Each structure stands twice: as C-alpha cells, then as structure tokens.
C-alpha cells in the first residue's frame, strides 16, 4: 500500500519541534511518544516521521547535517530553513480553515502557540472563533425547510452546527483559562 502524503498543516508540528532546537528523526519520534498531550491527537509511527522529515527537507522547509557517531550509524540532524520558519510562524497565527481538520489540527496549533508566546494563543483563539462564527452563519443561511425527503439532510446539518458550537464553547474555555 503506498504511503499517503499528509497535508503540510499536520507536518507543521514536526517543524515546531525542530524550531525548539535542532533534532534528529528518532528524537522527534521519541518526543511524540513522550508527550502525552500530543499523543492524544497524533498517532504517527517512527517510519512516518522519517518520511515526513524527508519530504519537508525536499520541499525546502528543513535542512540537515550529518552527525557522525562512534559506535552507531551517522544520523541527520534537522534545522529549520528560513522558509520553514515562515511556514511555521504563519501556521501558528492562522486559524484552521476547514471544519474537518479542527479536531486534529487546532490542538496541535494550540500546543505550539503556547510555547511560542501567550499572545500568540490569544490571537489564534480569536481568529479561530471568527472562522467558526463564519461557518455557523453559512450553515444557518443554508437551513433547509422542513419537508419530505429532507430529514437526513437536516440531521447532517444539525450535526455540523453542533460540532461548530462545541468548538466555539471549547475556544471560549481556552480563552478563559489562558489556554
């Protein structure tokens, strides 16, 4: 089975670790396992981390140097490029653009935003709230009138509305607690 290429948005988490300090792939994989907080939303295998790091390097977000070890194979130590820094900083400041990505991406953004700057957290929360309000307005404008054959569509729309309202409630909680 071919590997599925993940969108760069989730790979920004890898950029976040490397932004903290230059790391090799094994260290990043270990941090993903050791960080219970991220383990709640990420289930990456070590081979996926290596593949994604290679892709990020190929696309110019990371660079690497080879670290020679006396008794072990040499390993690549990754650093962010200027492009990687710009991509990561822009990602932290921007809201999740699609409803379907909120569950995995928003907690990841919040995790790294907390490490960047408390002000970055508040900016992220405010921007995400605005996007969620826009989603709600769009869904309300598309409300379906009661009628035969509309029941399933109405259920789906109500499901989407309740998901967005739940995200908004969670964002409010994050804002109150300082995330």
Long-range contacts of 78-86 (CB under 8 A, 24+ apart): 78/18, 78/22, 78/23, 78/24, 78/25, 78/28, 78/53, 79/18, 79/22, 80/15, 80/18, 80/19, 84/15, 84/18, 84/19, 84/56, 84/60, 85/19
Does pTM top 0.85 for this prediction? no
- Mean pLDDT, rounded, for 120-134: 94
- Mean pLDDT, rounded, for 26-47: 74
Q: Where are the domains of the chain?
A: 1-93, 98-179
Residue 2: band (very low, low, confident or very high) from pLDDT cuts 50, 70, 90? very low
Q: Which fold has domain 1-93?
A: Arc Repressor Mutant, subunit A (1.10.10)
């Amino acid at each position: 089975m071919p590997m599925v290429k993940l969108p760069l948005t989730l790979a920004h988490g890898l950029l976040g670790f490397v932004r903290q300090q230059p790391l090799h792939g094994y260290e990043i994989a270990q941090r993903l396992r050791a960080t219970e907080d991220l383990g709640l939303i990420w289930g990456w295998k070590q081979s996926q981390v290596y593949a994604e790091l290679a892709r990020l390097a190929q696309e110019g977000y990371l660079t690497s140097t080879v670290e020679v070890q006396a008794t072990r194979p040499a390993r690549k130590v990754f650093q962010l490029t200027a492009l990687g820094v710009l991509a990561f900083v822009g990602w932290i400041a921007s809201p999740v653009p699609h409803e379907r990505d909120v569950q995995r991406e928003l907690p990841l953004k919040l995790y790294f935003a907390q490490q960047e700057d408390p002000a970055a957290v508040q900016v992220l929360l405010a921007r995400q709230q605005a996007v969620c309000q826009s989603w709600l307005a769009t869904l309300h404008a598309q409300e379906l009138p009661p009628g035969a054959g509309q029941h399933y569509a109405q259920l789906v729309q109500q499901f989407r509305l309740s998901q967005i309202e739940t995200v908004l409630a969670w964002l409010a909680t994050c804002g109150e607690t300082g995330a």
